[in-house]
Amino acid sequence: MESENNEYNADRCIACGHSNSYVRLQPYHQCKMSDGAPCTTCYRIEHLESKILEARRVLDDLVQQHRELKTERNHIHDPITSRLSPEVISTIFQFSLPSVPDGSQRDVDMPNRKDVASPLILGAVCRSWRNIAWSTPSLWTFISVCVNDPDLPNLGDLACQWLARSGNLPLSIHIFASLDSPEDDWNNEDWFLLDRFGPFVELVNQQSSRWHKVDLSLPSSALSAFCGDLQSHSPLQTLRIHSIHEEWPAPPGQFSMKHSTPSPYNVYLSQLSFNAVVIEWANVTEVDIDSFGINECIELLERAPQLRYCRFSGLYIHFGQLVKGTIHHQLQTLDVENTGPESLSLLCNKLSLPGLSKFAYTKGGGQLPIKSLESFFNRSSCPLKELKIMGAVFDYVGIINLLQATPSISRLDLLPAQLAYDFSSKFFKLLADSSIARNEDGQDSDNFLPNLQTFRFHVGTGISWIYVPDVFGPLSELDNPCRRPLKAFHINVFKNPEFIEKDIVSRLLGILEAGLDLQIGYLSENLDLIQASMKHYGMVNNVEGENNLTPPYAE
């Protein structure tokens, strides 16, 4: 199909695009040299101009006929529009667009410029596609704009048309400043107030009654510009704000709407203080926070009683400020990362979370505050199901004490930042020795991890394989009701893995044949160490899938 475009510049020829200067052909003055009549030359020019204008009218008519024939041909040749109804094609167009990020968490990739322009690309195929795309509001509900793009002043009409095509549907808005621009462009407190950005900000504010998801990645001083209009209530569901700046703490700035206080469900804040965002926290169920003080975390938890999921990153202590304690009954998942052990310890000492079922501490880097965590879990009396400790320093005795305080967990992830040479063998042996409960109901308080179903162990190097085959317990006891319900055991080796001993490989194969989920891999090379070891010892002639790790291990 050939592209059809009926939007032409009035000063351009519709056939070739050159300037239509001949449209305004006029003599410079009325010639009266021949007894009050035009001279021969002027007469010839006037006659020629009339022929030119007539030729233009003929050419315009031919071009219009050509365009109509192309439309007819496209309709005949297009396998979509010739066979499907506009409603079905509209649905196909909707499924063809890249998905819009949820916006509630930091680990999302925003669509690139080409993805954002997908509705325009669909409309450029032919007139039929354009008519359908232009009349499908759901194609136009996501808008992404770089506010320090030099072309922004020229995009005002496009933005107006884009938003108009979205009808009255809820909008997802992504507004960001490019860090590729000179630093003083985005670090200057007044850069955002330039006239060339004002019309666009006003346009966005006029649509505040349709704000559904808002994602702002801007200098904090620019946040106040996005304040909505004076009449509408915002139905905002997801708010994501990342303040870009060189300084810390962040320069003053506040997100606050004029007419109403939005009440979102999902909130992500980065490099901002708690008071820099004016929202109603009562309905928030999910937060992702980067760079808060511990006292701000406590205030957030008190202001958000419906919170279910919480991720804190980069927490710090406001020295000299009193941190009070709090109880939050609804929180189910707490994920703390990139936070030092002192900050984690203070947070745990001030919290009680009776409903907590998932806890993760990752990328801490220091000594795991075992006592604070143990006290936290005991004080909360929570039904903890999943525990993840990654990138922290802990010893065998300390982690065993912590795990004995959490007998309800069914999934365990461990990655010691430093590993003693005998840690893995002692830990795996303990799992093997306690695989069968000491009493019939399997819930004796002396039993170690009686409910564990999935265990993932991540290690740099220096692992001992001798007790790995015994972790599941005797294979003859798989149907024993007193057996720990362990079904999955995954080991991820990060550095220089060695082949597993041949006799141990044979025992591991028995585990796999029993239908248990055992995976031992070197993820950086996507290498399955069991299969690689089998091939090394010549236990099979050809191992298929040697370099393919299957989910959920290859995460």
29, 33, 24: which is closest to 52 by C-alpha?
24
- Tokens 């009562």 sit at which residue? 282
Provide the 3-class DSSP secondary structure of residue 422: coil
Indicate whether 167 pLDDT > 70. yes
User: pLDDT confidence of 361, banded at 50, 70, 90?
Assistant: very high
Higher pLDDT, 169 or 495: 169
Question: φ and ψ at 42, to 5 degrees?
Answer: -65, -35
Q: 541-553: buried (b, 16+ CB within 10 Å) or exposed (e) per residue?
A: eebeeeeebeeeb
Average pLDDT (513-517) is: 95
Indicate whether 439 pLDDT > 70. no
Higher pLDDT, 301 or 4: 301
> How many other CB atoms are found less than 10 A from the CB of residue 89?
20
Residue type, 554: A
Maximum separation of any 2 CA atoms in the chain, in Å:
128
Extract the tokens encoding 84: 């499907």
Chain mean pLDDT for the chain: 83
Any residues with CB less than 8 A from the CB of 45 and at least 6 apart, and which? 27
Q: For residues 355 and 309, is the Cβ–Cβ distance under 8 A?
A: no
Least confident of 75-89, 299-313, 439-453: 439-453
User: pLDDT confidence of 12, banded at 50, 70, 90?
Assistant: low
Any residues with CB less than 8 A from the CB of 441 and at least 6 apart, and which? none
Higher pLDDT, 2 or 202: 202
The answer to whether the Cα torsion of 81, 85, 91, 94 is positive or negative is positive
Q: For residues 376 and 349, is the Cβ–Cβ distance under 8 A?
A: yes
- The answer, yes or no, to whether the previous bond of 552 is cis (omega within 30 of 0) is yes
Extract the tokens encoding 379: 């004080």
221, 208, 218: which is closest to 241 by C-alpha?
218
Question: φ and ψ at 327, to 5 degrees?
Answer: -120, 130
Extract the tokens encoding 362: 């990752």
